[in-house]
Amino acid sequence: MSDTINVALPKGRLGERVYRIFEESGLGCPGVTDPSTRRLIFENPGAGVCYFWVKPSDVAIYVERGAADIGVAGKDILLEYSPEVYELMDLRIGKCRMCVAAKKGYHDSTARTLRVATKFPAIATDYYRSLSRSIDIIKLNGSIELAPILGLSDVIVDIVETGSTLRENDLEVITTITDISARLIANKASTKFKADGISRLVLALKDRKGSI
């Protein structure tokens, strides 16, 4: 591993906000936010930092496997995949909730197995195990809200930001499982061998956390 700090940023608004903080702290890199470029990796050797954009759900994998030393990942991904990483900071951005939702007026019967549609089977399983409920997980990859409407499931476990999609589809939140926000994560080995470089980036974020 070189002493350059590799940073995995999630594509989208959230990653751009975090990058701006690094940039304002003198850790920027030309071209990172240029929408016309097709480059994948941006390095600033002077600042000892290298950025790359990845799919938000892949950030934790890049960091866990050491391809990135640090990264920004949603708490939902960290809960679902339990990567072996250090969670250094709650960035308090990208806030939303992991919720159980169902059709308005849904009556929950504990007498039968609950059918749960979700993109997050580990989170749903852990939650219902804590309640000792018998469940049938239906793993979907998108349009989760359709499942209860079409009778595919009784409830869904999904991320709720404003709740407008639920309302428009006559669904409502039954329970909030946990609050979600973006977290700064670090590879465990990198924190041993690149401690100074990682501390520099973490401090930049800590100093400017209020303005993210």
Partner 1 sequence: MLTADTLNGGDLAILSLGELYKSRGYKRFKMSRFEEYDLYAQSKDFLAKEGIVTFTDPSGELMALKPDVTMSIIKNSKELDGVCEKLYYNENVYRIRSGRLLEITQAGLECMGDIDLYSSCEVISLALKSLERFGKRFAFDLSHTGIVFAVLNESSVSEQERSLLLPLIASKNLHEISSLLGGRAKKLERLLSIDPRPGIGLCELRELSDSPELYAAAGELSDICGALGEFEGLRLDFSVASELSYYNGVVFQGFVDGVPEKVLTGGRYDLLMRRMGKKGGALGFAINLSLLERMLDGDSPLDADILLVYGDSPAERVMAKVNELSGDGSRVMAASVMPKKGSFGRVVLLEGE
Let me know: does 158 contact 96? Beta carbons within 8 Å.
Answer: no
Give the type of residue at 72: V
Task: Tell me whether residue 84 or residue 170 sits nearer to partner 1 (CB atom).
Answer: 84
What is the spatial distance between Cα 42 and Cα 8, in angstroms, rounded to a whole number?
Answer: 11
Least spacing, CB of residue 142 vs partner 1, in Å: 22
Least spacing, CB of residue 6 vs partner 1, in Å: 11
Least spacing, CB of residue 90 vs partner 1, in Å: 4
Task: Tell me whether residue 153 or residue 187 sits nearer to partner 1 (CB atom).
Answer: 187
Interface residues with partner 1 (CB under 8 A) are 1, 64-67, 82, 84-90, 187-190, 192-193
Task: Tell me whether residue 168 or residue 196 sits nearer to partner 1 (CB atom).
Answer: 196
Least spacing, CB of residue 177 vs partner 1, in Å: 14
Least spacing, CB of residue 20 vs partner 1, in Å: 22
Task: Tell me whether residue 6 or residue 153 sits nearer to partner 1 (CB atom).
Answer: 6
What is the spatial distance between Cα 206 and Cα 212, in angstroms, rounded to a whole number?
Answer: 10
What is the spatial distance between Cα 206 and Cα 201, in angstroms, rounded to a whole number?
Answer: 9
Task: Tell me whether residue 16 or residue 126 sits nearer to partner 1 (CB atom).
Answer: 126
Closest by CA to 149, choosing from 193, 174, 117, is 117
Task: Tell me whether residue 104 or residue 188 sits nearer to partner 1 (CB atom).
Answer: 188
Least spacing, CB of residue 111 vs partner 1, in Å: 28
